[in-house]
Structure 1
Amino acid sequence: MPTAPTGRRRRADAERSIARIVSAARECLSRDPNASIDDIAKAAGVGRMTLYGHFRNRKELVEAAMADALRAGEEVLSEVDLSGPAQDVLVRLLESSWSLVAESTALLTAAQGTLPAGRVRELHAGPAARLEELVRRGQDEGVFRTDMPVTWLVNVVQYVLHGAAEENRADRLKPEDTGRIVIATVRSILAA
């Protein structure tokens, strides 16, 4: 019996299993940042042994879930039209970013509670770089403030997005109002 097809089949099965586990982790951790390995394995339709065969510990699983959420978010953000005046681009970027942040707030909480702070920052490097480039462009256009470091302004925007998501989760902001409030807040923070 040839071994190559069996090996390929096992690898494909393993990849499907990993994808199910990561998807279940994203779903479970997005609802509850304290979701257990048992909860995630059950949601993925696998046993603990299978899960631990692919992920040595909760930290690896949380990182994989966070990386997958950021990859999916990158696909959405890469579709945002970045042409035109910086203020208009900011609105389009915030509209797209807001929904992504709202979906993954609890997952971020899980990551912050599990991964080192530096690793969470590394995982967010792509979205941060896009925003940093936009802020610099807005400064060059004279529409964004230049009296504070760009990295600080980018961090403040990220804090606003995450804070708004927390306000949503606590029912202190209505979901239908939050996008507008985020945009108004960030525009006032960045205004020259």
Structure 2
Amino acid sequence: MPTAAAGPRRRADAERSIARIIAAARTSLSGDPNASIEDIAKAAGVGRMTLYGHFRTRAQLVEAALVDALAAGERALSAVDLTGDAREVLARLLDSSWSLVAESTALLTAAQGTLPAGRVRELHAAPAQRIEELVRRGQDQGVFRTDMPIAWLVDVVHHVLHGAAEATRTGRLAQKDAARVVTVTIQSILAAPSPAPHGPE
């Protein structure tokens, strides 16, 4: 008969297997949003039947990978000092979390082709809200522009992040340059326009 410890051991083994599969999914889908179940199972070092034992569909696995990546991003961002000048906060956020931002963006691309649109928006709500709050603070401080709708500015920021993530994935932007390029680009977009010079009296 199985021992009493067999159950906990099996659960621990299953948890390790799930963690390995999710980690492999994050890596595989970040590199290729169209990565297949076979690709992910191979990267995780497990068979397809083992993977399907934990995730019945590719959609479930994509969602688990995205949720895990977003949770990792939240942990990283929670350590960032969010006080002070909004421009400096933005630079700190992008510098400290660019790799996670790039990964989450790639996973969002995978999710958009797999999960219902409503679920993608739900998962993306917290990161979008953080950017919106930061842009709003910068507007209140007079350092970010107010001549465009805030929703549009937030969308533009996410488009830049998405484009940079794709550029690093395809090699058009070096990984070592990504954080600096993204930060400079977004700061230039959000910067409050300089006052028009006064004409001659």
Q: What is the rounded CA distance, in whole Å, between the counterparts of 1:176 and 1:37 in structure 2?
A: 30
Q: What is the rounded CA distance, in whole Å, between the counterparts of 2:4 and 2:147 in structure 1?
A: 62
Alpha-carbon distance change, 112 to 146 in structure 1, aligned in 2, over 3 angstroms? same
Q: Report the counterpart of residue 110 of structure 1 in structure 2.
A: 110
Q: Report the counterpart of residue 146 of structure 2 in structure 1.
A: 146
Which amino acid counterpart does residue 49 of structure 2 have in structure 1? Answer: M
Q: Report the counterpart of residue 14 of structure 2 in structure 1.
A: 14
Report the 3-state secondary structure (helix = DSSP H, G, I; strand = E; otherwise coil) of the residue aligned with 1:74: helix
Q: What is the rounded CA distance, in whole Å, between the counterparts of 2:172 and 2:4 in structure 1?
A: 57
Alpha-carbon distance change, 186 to 99 in structure 1, aligned in 2, over 3 angstroms? same
Q: What is the rounded CA distance, in whole Å, between the counterparts of 1:149 and 1:186 in structure 2?
A: 16
RMSD of aligned residue pairs (Cα, Å): 2.0
Give yes or no for the alignment of 1:33 onto 2:33.
yes
Deviates more, 1:171-180 or 1:114-123: 171-180
Q: Deviations over 1:55-81 (max 9, x none)?
A: 110000011011111111111111111
Q: Deviations over 1:90-133 (max 9, x none)?
A: 11112224222334554333222212233222212222222111
- What runs of 5+ residues in structure 1 fail to find an aligned partner? none
Report the 3-state secondary structure (helix = DSSP H, G, I; strand = E; otherwise coil) of the residue aligned with 1:114: coil
Which amino acid counterpart does residue 87 of structure 1 have in structure 2? Answer: R
The alpha carbon displacement at 1:141 in A equals 1.0
Q: Report the counterpart of residue 136 of structure 1 in structure 2.
A: 136
Q: Report the counterpart of residue 190 of structure 1 in structure 2.
A: 190
Q: What is the rounded CA distance, in whole Å, between the counterparts of 2:171 and 2:17 in structure 1?
A: 36
Aligned residues between the structures: 192
Q: Deviations over 1:127-157 (max 9, x none)?
A: 2222111111111111112233322211211
Q: Deviations over 1:152-175 (max 9, x none)?
A: 211211110111122223333333
Q: What is the rounded CA distance, in whole Å, between the counterparts of 1:177 and 1:13 in structure 2?
A: 40
The alpha carbon displacement at 1:3 in A equals 6.5
Q: What is the rounded CA distance, in whole Å, between the counterparts of 1:62 and 1:95 in structure 2?
A: 26
Normalising by structure 1, we get a TM-score of 0.88
Q: Report the counterpart of residue 168 of structure 1 in structure 2.
A: 168
Alpha-carbon distance change, 128 to 97 in structure 1, aligned in 2, over 3 angstroms? farther
Report the 3-state secondary structure (helix = DSSP H, G, I; strand = E; otherwise coil) of the residue aligned with 2:29: helix
Specify the structure having the higher radius of gyration (Cα).
2
Which amino acid counterpart does residue 48 of structure 2 have in structure 1? Answer: R
Identity of aligned residues (%): 76
Q: Report the counterpart of residue 53 of structure 2 in structure 1.
A: 53
Alpha-carbon distance change, 99 to 45 in structure 1, aligned in 2, over 3 angstroms? closer
- What runs of 5+ residues in structure 2 fail to find an aligned partner? 193-201
Which amino acid counterpart does residue 79 of structure 2 have in structure 1? Answer: E
Between structures 1 and 2, the one with greater helix share: 1
